[in-house]
A and B are shown apart, each in its own frame.
Chain A
């Protein structure tokens, strides 16, 4: 079945450091890919998405490119801020059927001033 593997962390960075969180997937067909973020004490929010190969999703300085050849969707940000401290989840959704989301286990990011 479909699955998502992401680096589990935790990841601790200093402010203005470069961030990469790796995500790879296994799926049949052509899934859509997502990064969700969960800030402390808050619910899951969609951060960015990409629906087909070579699409780049971007939001709040974060970017991820849908790479079909490597089945990857790595999350990057050039300069993190303390306010980026959160748990980040990579997910995929397949069309047809229930369209449920399949999530990675999440990566906790802490950014220190």
Chain B
């Protein structure tokens, strides 16, 4: 079946502009995650959705970052007034419902490479 998809695959923007990154999770997956992969920081957690609510936003680096999820499906990560340090690959992952006593696997999308000039 279809995996997690993200768009755009690449985004180049000028400092100070706003950007929106989109994630389409695997159909039926209730949990959705955003991570950021940068050279200096490795892979960092940004935000977690369960359905349309975000019980954990602890990884968002500043109030310029926000995310929403609608219909329990598509999610959008918005970065306002972009800065050069926002340049990174933004990864989305989803995982299925039905928690058991073991951890649910996360399936990752290909990422959006953001470059802020």
Residues of A within 8 A of B (CB): 31-32, 36, 42-46, 49, 51, 89, 91, 93, 95, 97-106
What CA separation (Å) do A35 and B47 show in the bound complex?
A: 21
Chain A neighbourhood of B106, CB < 8 A: 46, 93, 101
What CA separation (Å) do A91 and B35 show in the bound complex?
A: 13
Add 8 more A-B contacts to A36-B108, A51-B103, A106-B43 (CB < 8 A): A44-B93, A46-B106, A46-B107, A97-B55, A98-B55, A98-B56, A98-B58, A106-B42
What CA separation (Å) do A40 and B56 show in the bound complex?
A: 31
What CA separation (Å) do A100 and B110 show in the bound complex?
A: 18
Q: How many A-B residue pairs have CB under 8 A?
A: 60
Residues of B within 8 A of A (CB): 31, 33, 35, 42-45, 48, 55-56, 58-59, 91, 93, 95, 99, 101-111
A99 to chain B, nearest CB (A): 6
Contact B42 A100 (CB under 8 A): no
Chain B neighbourhood of A43, CB < 8 A: 91, 108-111
Contact B105 A49 (CB under 8 A): yes
- The 5 lowest CB-CB distance pairs between A and B, nearest first, are A98-B56, A32-B103, A103-B43, A98-B48, A105-B42
